[in-house]
Amino acid sequence: MTERLYIKVDENNVHIGHPRFESNMKAIYPDHDFDWGPPNGFMSFIRVEPPELGVYELFDETIGGNIALAFSHNGLSYDIVDGVYKDVWHVRNMTTEEKTEKQNSVKAAFAELHPTWSSWTFNETTCEMEPPVAYPDDGKPYTWDNENQTWNLVE
């Protein structure tokens, strides 16, 4: 079972700081019965895992400030949802320029790694380079032979 979390709040239930583990709270409030809820001035907090981003999505860097110090990005806020504080992840779609930059970066990296694999095409939906023949799905290792347009079993 995951340890319960609590966050300090002011008189208007605006959070102050970051969530605290119940075990730490018990050390500060040894006489408080946490089965009946948090002490005055605290609210329950539920940790929410970050979402998996789509190919052309980013965390919204304009939201989060110092909340997201544990992550390599912003995009996280603490908000009250159904009477409980929760992590709320803010995601945005890439701008046209960001999308184009990502696509060009993928194409350039592929061309640098595989300069002779000109038969592969770019899939805009997945933002990946794809071979003209699908990779075999038999669990064995293969290498691409561009001249013959085939996958050769690695022995």
The DSSP result for 100-136, as a single string, is: HHHHHHHHHHHHHH-TT-TT-EEETTTTEEE-SSPPP
Does position 72 have pLDDT exceeding 70, yes or no?
A: no
6-26 tens-digit pLDDT: 999 999 999 998 999 999 999
Q: Backbone phi, then psi, for 31, in 5-degree steps? A: -95, -5
Q: Which residue has the higher pLDDT, 74 or 127?
A: 127
pLDDT at 81: 93
Which one, of 47, 35, 33, lies nearest residue 81 by Cα?
47
The pTM of this model reads 0.78
88-114 tens-digit pLDDT: 999 999 999 999 999 999 999 999 999
43-68 tens-digit pLDDT: 999 999 999 999 999 999 888 766 66
pLDDT at 2: 83
* Residue 71 banded pLDDT, cuts 50, 70, 90: low
* Residue 69 banded pLDDT, cuts 50, 70, 90: low
